Amino acid sequence: MGNNESNSRIRFNILTVFIYIVGIIIIIQLFNLQIVQGEEYREQSNTKLTRESVLEAARGSIMDRTGNILVGTTMGFSLELYKTKVDTQTFNNSILNIVRVLEKNGDSYIDTLPISINPFEFKFNSEESAIKWKKNNKIDENATAEQAFYALKDKYEINCDSLEDTRKIMTIVYEIKTSGYSTVKSIEISSSISRASVQEFEERSADFPGIAVIKEPLRDYKSGTLASHIVGYIGKIRDDEYKEKKDTYAMDDYIGRTGIEYVFEEYLKGENGIRQIDMDIDGTQTGEYIAKEAVEGADVVLTIDANLQAVAENALKNNIEKIRNGGFSQRYNAKGGAVVVTNVKTGEVLALVSYPNYSPAEMYNGLTTQRWNEINNDPTLPLYNRAISGSYAPGSTFKMVTAVAALETGVVTKNERINDVGIYRGVPNTAPVCWIWTQSHIGHGRLNIVDAIQKSCNYFFYEMGNRMGIDNLVKYVKYFGLGQKTGIELPNETSGTIASKETTEAKGERWQGGDVLSAAIGQGDNDFSPLQMARYISILVNGGHRIDLSIVKSVIKADGTEVPRNEIEDFVNNKLGIQNEEVEQLDIKQETIDTVLEGMKSVAMESGGTAYSIFRNFNIEVGGKTGSAETASSDVNAWFTGFAPFDDPEIAVIVMVENGGHGNYTAEVARDIMAEYFGMNTQVVEEDVQAKSYVEYAR
């Protein structure tokens, strides 16, 4: 018992001594830290600051169906400025030196100062804006531009004799005062600087207090203007957008504006990380590290083929110029056009063209007010996507719908012949004529439905419309997807308009008996986009099976997983407000389809067909239909709708040229596209257009 007590006492004494010694060590260490080295640590604390900034995630790429990158990301450098504890004169001199480096290397920098010099003038659109600006900047509302400039010079304490140098300093200081910055919140002086500037700023960092060179991803529109209306572009986020999205966006972020960039913004954007920058009290950067890694955005893979898209764009451009220059039998002032190429079995869009186009890179890099006005006021409307937003009367390319409806409702048979005498008198108080009557004062004579499609005989289709009535016709128009959105994954798609009693009454007018005649030949209120026409032809040539069109093949996340198709469809429908319309299902007989396609084949492959001169030496059998439609302004829009191969159709090609004159003129665009698609390297010899026996004048 005694031994146990003795041992416990010994262990207690040892523990007490150990605690005592540890306590002495801690006291000595605290004394050393707080008294001996305290001044040194306080000095370091006062001279070092850690700035936290956004590590911007790279946007996902936009690729064609084969993996060619149309829009990607390249790494660039931006220049940011933080607040430092230097005097005003030193700061202003530093700003001037920064600007001089940028200008020497050809780099742009932020300039929102609304006063120009030499001569002095305000850069406002209205007097009201100028007055509001003066009030916000505490400047007399009657001050001239020169007086306002010198008021800011005094306010910002800019001590500089050179007027040009003063403004260079002023524009940066103005941005600081307008946007605000601090020791931990920067402003961006330049969004893209050259490597020469980067090198100079890094080598002379002590001469530029507060600056930080930031490596960041930049949008790279690798393909120039190719597919510009499809891919779209991004731009700086607006104030109203930022207020709504500030949980996920910064004030200087970019956001999708049009096209795929807009629709798939949430997938393309990615997730930003966090970068930390160490600076001393004078603003010299001393270190940088990543606190949170950024996650790249998802890639969007399109259904289009970049090579086919390029051929289609070039063919349409050349065709429009040829029409303008009188390269065919008659000169027309063609204004623009569109092309759509589809896979008729899947509904995938292989090419989609609107001309003229624009440069997404130019829109992304920022436009001056003057340049924006030039683009926005351009009468050719380069930003307008004619392929999906344009709505045009289809003219004679509509006649296949009428033919199908007539055969399916039994008002005509394949072999019945109708005598075209030139002037149609089947409806009282109206006497429309066939196009050949307008040209030659004769009729086509006796035609069956195949002949009528080949000759594009208005008279025949007037009779079909009169026999079946507008309600039967409208039922088939809707089945072929006309007058309704296709649901393509692009913004601003038009619904188009179907000529019908409802459409007429909605305008406050009364349906007339003769209205069905113009509707039956693709005129009246019939207005459809080239994209809708592509869907219609695709359904027609695939056996009458309804399909949906798509321009997005897949969306692939940064981790390599693919977004489920139903998720993409739900996302797009919600983003674009697409609602699927109920359409009566029609079981169209194969005999009907074969009869109509036979007529289309004769258009392109038989002498007398309105597109025969273009396809007569083509290596593959083609079906087609030309069309011309007069507008309210007396322009004549030209159409060609075609498909190939005839025996087992793979693609449909739709071409539309505003004020292109005659549908035959546009057929060569489709020919060139088909030649590319089918790998044909031969040049089709074009017959002299002026020697043709038939020209499509159908209205």
Structural domain boundaries, residue 630? 331-546+583-691
In what order do the strands lie in the sheet containing 48-55? 48-55, 273-280, 285-292
For residue 85, the surrounding DSSP H or E stretch is none
**pLDDT computed for residue 689 by the predictor:** 33
CA distance readout (Å), 255 to 186, 567, 636: 20, 22, 39
Tokens matching residue 488: 């393509």
Residue 497, domain member (yes or no): yes
**pLDDT computed for residue 23 by the predictor:** 60
**pLDDT computed for residue 250 by the predictor:** 82
Residue 414, domain member (yes or no): yes
Q: Give the CATH number of the domain where residue 480 resides.
A: 3.40.710.10
- What is the SS3 assignment for 413-465? CCCCCEEECCECCCCCCCCCECHHHHHHCCCCEEECHHHHHHHCCHHHHHHHH
The pTM (predicted TM-score) of the whole model is 0.82
| Residue spans of alpha helices (H) in 232-338 | 239-245, 259-263, 265-268, 306-324
**pLDDT computed for residue 12 by the predictor:** 53
Per-run averaged pLDDT (10 residues), the chain, 699 residues: 55 58 59 49 50 81 97 92 87 94 94 93 90 92 94 94 95 89 78 92 88 88 96 93 89 92 97 76 64 90 97 98 94 96 98 97 86 92 97 98 98 98 96 95 97 97 98 97 96 97 96 96 97 98 95 97 96 92 90 98 95 95 96 93 98 98 96 96 40 33
Residue 302, domain member (yes or no): no
**pLDDT computed for residue 522 by the predictor:** 97
Residue 343, domain member (yes or no): yes
Q: Which amino acid is residue 333, in one-letter code? A: N
Residue 35, domain member (yes or no): no
Residue 657, domain member (yes or no): yes
How many domains is the chain partitioned into structurally?
Answer: 1
Residue 404, domain member (yes or no): yes
Residue 229, domain member (yes or no): no
Three-state SS at 126: coil
Q: Which of 223, 117, 493 is nearest to 338 (CA)?
A: 493
Check whether the bond before 356 is cis (ω within 30° of 0): yes
